[in-house]
Amino acid sequence: MQVTRSLFDDVMVPNYAPSAVIPVKGSGSRVWDQNGQEFIDFAGGIAVNCLGHCHPALVTALKEQSEKLWHLSNVMTNEPALRLAKKMTDATFADKVYFANSGAEANEAALKLARRYALDVYGADKTGIIAFNKGFHGRTFFTVTVGGQAAYSDGFGPKPADISHCDYNDLAAFEALINDKTCAVMMEPLQGEGGIISPTPEFVQAVRELCTKHNALLIFDEVQTGVGRTGDLYAYQGLATTPDILTTAKALGGGFPIGAMITTKDIAEHLKVGTHGSTYGGNPLACAVAEAAFDTVNTPEVLAGVKEREQMFRDGLANINAKYNVFSEVRGKGLLLGAVLNTDYAGRARDFLVASTEQGLMSLVAGMDVIRFTPSLVIPKEDIIEGLARFEKAVAHVVNG
């Protein structure tokens, strides 16, 4: 069968509008399409391919596990799931792990747990959930309603109730919303889809303190920031603020679908047998690959390398901006970075993305005004240099028409 971009339009539901490029092979931070064109990958599958494409450790783990055991469901547990859970709890604040297949499912579990905990401990009136405008927490109906972008949740009928939003970093607005009927606050420790927006340390600390004051659980959505993306294993570790529940996915499997919710023993006990579940959650294949990814990322060398590569990106983008004057700032942390377009180029992020693709560079956007970069955490430095050179050509094309 000949596979072309037009086949997508024939057989796929039209909720996506993919590029004409169809990649067929990847190695490290390089990708090749059907025509043999090479791309440097600054997108990382939207912060998923934390070790690039076909990393030997992940390939080995997948091959070895594929010859042992693929699937059981949660009628029985399995060794890869238990090993991974132990490593995650040893490396974080958490005591307990729940495995899912995606970030949305991990967030769904976190929200359900928060509601159940509040019901069990404080009674039926404590149901309020606070989240933040421009936030993104997944595409299930619960998580997309909690996410602070109404355009994604409108048009599907009545929404889950008792959910409110305020602006990120607006402490006065948040303080006005939270009360003793709030059961949980869900926030990203660095907003990704909303434009690569970092919290102020004062805001994060105040949110933590107010949650404690009102007996509300603080949920950190680390689907995009987790597993080394910011230069810490999890972003909360660089913010001196510990959540009650944390969700992780994307980079957790290095490209193999997996998600997880982690929390403390006292909170976890409220998801008793039968209250929540997943057929594929904790799948041996997924957990074996995720264990290899986790082991590889969670080292001083890799995490320090993220911060070193961040500086290379910042320096390179500053040099490009000195020539073309298109960015107002570069936001983010580690290898979750956003180049914010200035007023002269406002709303044109996609133009830069398209031009980058034409120059052999895979990049992303975060809204209409931000070009987003989420490459492999171990991207070779020569690929950063070459990728930025290609990006500069793309910038020149947009600027010069």
Tens of pLDDT, residues 197-244: 999 999 999 999 999 999 999 999 999 999 999 999 999 999 999 999
Tens of pLDDT, residues 270-319: 999 999 999 999 999 999 999 999 999 999 999 999 999 999 999 999 99
- As a whole number of angstroms, the distance between CA 358 and CA 21 comes to 10
Q: Is 250 a catalytic residue?
A: yes
pLDDT at 271: 97
Q: Retrieve residue 243's tokens.
A: 């959540």
Tens of pLDDT, residues 119-157: 999 999 999 999 999 999 999 999 999 998 998 999 999
Q: Is 315 labeled as ligand-binding?
A: no
Q: Is 294 labeled as ligand-binding?
A: no
Q: What is the DSSP letter of 293?
A: H
Q: Is 221 labeled as ligand-binding?
A: yes
- Is pLDDT of 371 > 90? yes
Tens of pLDDT, residues 22-61: 999 999 999 999 999 999 999 999 999 999 999 999 999 9
Residue 107 amino acid letter: N
Residues 6 or more apart in contact with residue 118 via CB below 8 angstroms: 126, 127, 183, 184, 217
- As a whole number of angstroms, the distance between CA 150 and CA 132 comes to 11
Tens of pLDDT, residues 130-140: 999 999 999 99
Q: Is 224 labeled as ligand-binding?
A: yes
Residues 6 or more apart in contact with residue 384 via CB below 8 angstroms: 309, 312, 313, 316, 375
Task: Count other C-beta atoms under 10 Å from residue 19's C-beta.
Answer: 12
pLDDT at 401: 83
What's the average model confidence in pLDDT over 378-392? 98
Q: Is 175 labeled as ligand-binding?
A: no
CB 247 within 8 A of CB 111: no
Q: Which residue has the tokens 């082991």?
A: 295
Task: Count other C-beta atoms under 10 Å from residue 194's C-beta.
Answer: 21
Domains and CATH numbers, the chain: 5-55+300-400 (3.90.1150.10), 57-297 (3.40.640.10)
Q: Pick the catalytic residue: 250, 256, 352, 369? A: 250
Q: Pick the catalytic residue: 39, 136, 313, 327? A: 136
Q: Pick the catalytic residue: 41, 42, 221, 232? A: 221
Q: Is 221 a catalytic residue?
A: yes
Q: Is 141 a catalytic residue?
A: no
Q: Which residue has the tokens 């209409």?
A: 368
**What is the DSSP code string of 330-381?**
EEEETTEEEEEE-GGGTT-HHHHHHHHHHTTEE-EESSSSEEEE---TT--H
pLDDT at 167: 97
- As a whole number of angstroms, the distance between CA 241 and CA 111 comes to 20
pTM exceeds 0.95? yes
Question: How high does pLDDT run on average in the chain?
Answer: 97
pLDDT band at 5 (very low <50, low <70, confident <90, very high): very high
